[in-house]
Structure 1
Amino acid sequence: MAILLFVTVCLVLMLGYPVALTLAGVALMFAGIGQFIGLFDATLLGALPNRLFGIINNSILMAVPLFVFMGVVLEKSKVAEQLLISMAELFGRFRGGLIFSVFFVGMLLAASTGIVGATVVTMGLMSLPTLLKRGYDPAFSAGAICATGTLGQIIPPSIALVLLGDVLSNAYQQAQLEMGIFSPKSVSVGDLFAGAIVPGLLLLGMYCLYTLILIKLKPDSFPKPTQIQPVNLSFILRILNALIPPLVLIFLVLGSILFGVATPTEAASVGAFGALVIAMSKKQLQLAVLKEVMISTVKVTSMVFLILIGASIFSLVFRGLGGEELIHQLFTNMPGGVIGATLLVMLVIFLLGFILDFIEITFVVVPLVAPILLAMGLDPIWLGIMIAVNLQTSFLTPPFGFALFYLRGVTKELLSSAQIYRGVLPFVLMQLLLLLLLSIWPALITWLPAQIYG
């Protein structure tokens, strides 16, 4: 019944029904069937009110609407657009400079929004027409935009890492109880933020190195700049005016979390307020813009919490039908032990990334498998970053990657699907290489958190 429940949910989702309602509705239907045939104890559903109250009362999850608000303010107030223009002027004096400006601005936008769709759509609308007009290769341009957009999964402060931090903290405590260990240590969002910095910068470095190699091998695909801005005081001030505010904002938010000055929720509130200040200083905070920002924030936040409620109902019914014991037996008897179990989980998460967003996977799949993997001895910070990078790769892989659909939706007249697919393949290979490096050298993830938190 537990396996049938999981398969049914996936099938219904593929038919296009809303995720949150599918998770809750199918789970309750199976609970009724299980009660009727004697395989489910309906009294377990009595735990739902406490679970739902815990979700709404979770202080860590309160960071989600604040981080969303911060990102949407920077997007709607055209701060990101001004930054892209300034970076294009700065890097435009070099062959292929526009691509490097896309990487840099995309990284900052990914760090501020943390939402793959928002970053890909924004970068696609702002930069792709300019890249094509200047003569850049269409396939490579599409791949660069999609790959940069998915950096929002691991570049902190990331909403994906905030959600993963909450889920993995609960999973770690559950794993400790199963092992008979009673330790006050837990997994914090700050741990994941610190663990994601080195992999995120390493991946961005791979993108830049690959671009430099292409410029050397195929210079015709990267035209020389036609107009070079003179370096004078006005130029420098314009660059600094566009660059410093978002950099300071991200440093304040991320630094306050990493060094324990503020909790993720407190830092997110600083970020939200700082984004408003930046927008006001640039005279971009009109009433109409603020209304759009608030509506977008409410929509994203409502989606996150509704999915979390549906996932809680699903996980409760799944456990009541014996699904947790089934997974535990499967992992215990898996050839290769913890390595085989980890590979299986990563493969399943990668495939599910084609049909589910990171929010559903974080709330549905991770709570089922993480406690067992952590009880087998995996480091929770390493596991969290591996899941984030894995999902990032899944969102970029043809033909079902979400990032490809987002870009295709806003560039139908400029690019074909074949060009987008061809352009992202090298970046998919680089992300798979990163996963391999993180598997071989876990210290790439765990070193910085150990240095900061000891």
Structure 2
Amino acid sequence: MDPVLLGEILSLLMFATACVVLLLGFPVAFSLAGVALFFFAIGYGLDIVRLSDLGALPNRYFGTMTNYILVAVPLFVFMGVMLERSRIAESLLETMGQLFGSLRGGLGVAVVLVGMLLAASTGIVGATVITMGLLSLPVMINNGYDKRLATGVICASGTLGQIIPPSIVLVLLGDILQGAASQARNTLMAEGQWDVVVRPVNVLDLFAGALMPGLMLVGMYMAYVMLVATFRPAACPPIPVNINKRELRKKVLRVLVPPSVLILAVLGSILVGAAPPTEAAAVGAVGAVLLAGLAIANEESPPWPIYAAGLAVAFIVFSRLFFNLSFQRSVVEFTTWLAIAAVTVAVAILVYGIVVAFWRTFRAGILTEVMRSSMQITVMVFVILLGASVFALVFRSLGGEEIVTDVLNNLPGGAFGAVMAVMALMFFLGFFLDYIEIIFVVVPIVAPILLMMGVDPVWLGVMMSINLQMSFLTPPFGFALFYLRGVAPASVTTMDIYKGIIPFVLIQLLALALIWYFPQIALWLPDLVG
């Protein structure tokens, strides 16, 4: 048999075997690397590949280790875990429930809004779904909410962290698409195709591109809840709220303002160019520590050091917008010296506030848990990334990339048909695989091919992120469904949860269709900030 054809067959068998092994529950990183090395050994025995083909692996690993963009991953993870452990989510749910609960469907709307706020501040789906399931689901059911509506809105709102920035999914996708765009440009130049322009892309572009679609999804979720409240009022009755308006206003300000300021600081510093995503992630991590310290404040631990530190962070961020604080120039203006002196004082106040917040979280037993969980999640992501590097390298060495290129280029409809096929494949794999597995296995293979066909990388990244969001909602292995099943009351059946998410999956498919036909939904803000 022709060695090229045999290699392509082996690459397809390797992909299928990896999917089967992952379905059997073996560790992802070791499954990807192990399956790849097994098929590489077969290819080596059949004289299809050479040992030198693995020579690129050390450079890939070193590139991952020195990738500045990926530093944002542990920082965003730390930010999310810290906010979740400090029970800020519980306060948000209680307050928003009191604010909207007296309206028909109001508690469902409150859950969506809290999901949006937690998405923009924590981004951890499991923690969000579990928290809202523990706190909101019993209240909703006890007050007569339809079980399917209640479970559906909690699961869907809990997955908003996958699309609303800052999101780990967008960081990983942005890094992969940046490399794919570079690879596509080099390939096109080598082939002499100068007429095809590949748009540069980075994590900032994806953050900006995903913001409007994420808010659109929030609006669509709330619109669905209000439609149910209008046409099926018995499914989401109002809930009595025993708190006077003055106390409620004070509580809303106290609970909503700090996380809202954190969200604005992180996203605002990215979008206005005050800080790249990695530095903004550091701002988010510091802000999360300060919010945790504020949540623990009491008579013995007053809140003023945290408020002072928060104001110092805001001052430092805005100072970078209006002043060039660098010393690497020949002339430094007097006003700049004053700004540098003021920022120095602000840094000292910030350091004091951070030390106070760290001490409070350590004394409360939160800091140790957060550090341990952040390390576990970060290690999981990067070990999977390293395993996926082996898989992608062997797949290409066996000739898998060529067969994927041929298939996508020969599909009817050109780029439209190719993107449709990739979206369908990712949607299907989302029934069985985790989003990280899909990102690291599928995207590096198909993205360069699609970009060479003229597909906009920012639009493609946003479409992929919404598609990956659905992997949390689609049975049989939708993780959001499992998270909620683990904390739901016995009166809520698994079938209630499965049926409850169907309308929200359809809403997400509708959102994909809207972004497909109106790509400016995803491209307007990147073009504006670019």
Q: Normalised by the shorter chain, which TM-score bucket?
A: over 0.9
Equivalent position of 2:463 in the other structure: 386
How far apart are residue 60 of structure 1 and its match?
0.6
TM-score (norm 1): 0.97
User: Do residues 169 (structure 1) and 183 (structure 2) align?
Assistant: no
Equivalent position of 2:333 in the other structure: none
How far apart are residue 83 of structure 1 and its match?
1.2
**CA deviation vs aligned residue, 1:227-268 (integer Å, no higher than 9, x gap):** 342111x33221111001111101110111111111111000
User: Do residues 241 (structure 1) and 318 (structure 2) align?
Assistant: no
User: Do residues 254 (structure 1) and 263 (structure 2) align?
Assistant: no
Is the deviation greater in 403-412 or in 164-173?
A: 403-412
User: Do residues 201 (structure 1) and 278 (structure 2) align?
Assistant: no
**CA deviation vs aligned residue, 1:38-62 (integer Å, no higher than 9, x gap):** 1111111121111111111111111
The 1-side partners of 2:418 and 2:242 are apart by: 54
The 2-side partners of 1:90 and 1:83 are apart by: 10
The 1-side partners of 2:83 and 2:153 are apart by: 21
Q: How many aligned positions are there?
A: 452
5+ residue gaps, structure 1: none
**CA deviation vs aligned residue, 1:81-124 (integer Å, no higher than 9, x gap):** 11111111111232222111111111111222223222222221
Give the residue type in structure 1 aligned to 2:239. Answer: P
Equivalent position of 1:63 in the other structure: 72
Give the residue type in structure 1 aligned to 2:216. Answer: L
How far apart are residue 309 of structure 1 and its match?
0.2
Equivalent position of 1:396 in the other structure: 473
The 2-side partners of 1:434 and 1:365 are apart by: 22
> Among residues 305, 309, 334, which one is paired with 2:382 in the alignment?
305
Give the residue type in structure 2 aligned to 1:111. Answer: A
User: Do residues 94 (structure 1) and 103 (structure 2) align?
Assistant: yes
Is the deviation greater in 400-409 or in 423-432?
A: 400-409
How far apart are residue 67 of structure 1 and its match?
0.3
The 2-side partners of 1:249 and 1:113 are apart by: 11
How far apart are residue 226 of structure 1 and its match?
2.2
User: Do residues 190 (structure 1) and 204 (structure 2) align?
Assistant: yes
Equivalent position of 1:20 in the other structure: 29
1:226 is paired with a residue of what secondary structure?
A: coil
The 1-side partners of 2:248 and 2:23 are apart by: 51
> Among residues 231, 234, 251, which one is paired with 1:220 in the alignment?
234
The 2-side partners of 1:29 and 1:400 are apart by: 27
> Among residues 414, 418, 424, which one is paired with 1:347 in the alignment?
424
The 1-side partners of 2:497 and 2:118 are apart by: 21
Asked if 2 retains the 8 angstrom alpha-carbon contact of 1:114 and 1:160, the reply is no
Identity %: 55
Is the deviation greater in 221-230 or in 138-147?
A: 221-230
Give the residue type in structure 2 aligned to 1:272. Answer: A
5+ residue gaps, structure 2: 1-9, 298-360
How far apart are residue 336 of structure 1 and its match?
1.5
For the aligned residue pairs, the C-alpha RMSD in angstroms reads 1.5
Asked if 1 retains the 8 angstrom alpha-carbon contact of 2:435 and 2:471, the reply is no
2:442 is paired with a residue of what secondary structure?
A: helix
How far apart are residue 184 of structure 1 and its match?
10
Show the 5 A alignment for 1:269-308. Answer: 269-283=282-296, 285-287=361-363, 288-308=365-385
Equivalent position of 2:528 in the other structure: 451
Equivalent position of 1:103 in the other structure: 112
Equivalent position of 1:263 in the other structure: 276
How far apart are residue 420 of structure 1 and its match?
0.7
How far apart are residue 311 of structure 1 and its match?
0.2
Asked if 2 retains the 8 angstrom alpha-carbon contact of 1:20 and 1:306, the reply is yes
1:62 is paired with a residue of what secondary structure?
A: helix
Asked if 1 retains the 8 angstrom alpha-carbon contact of 2:433 and 2:477, the reply is no
1:395 is paired with a residue of what secondary structure?
A: coil
Give the residue type in structure 2 aligned to 1:227. Answer: V
The 2-side partners of 1:400 and 1:14 are apart by: 9
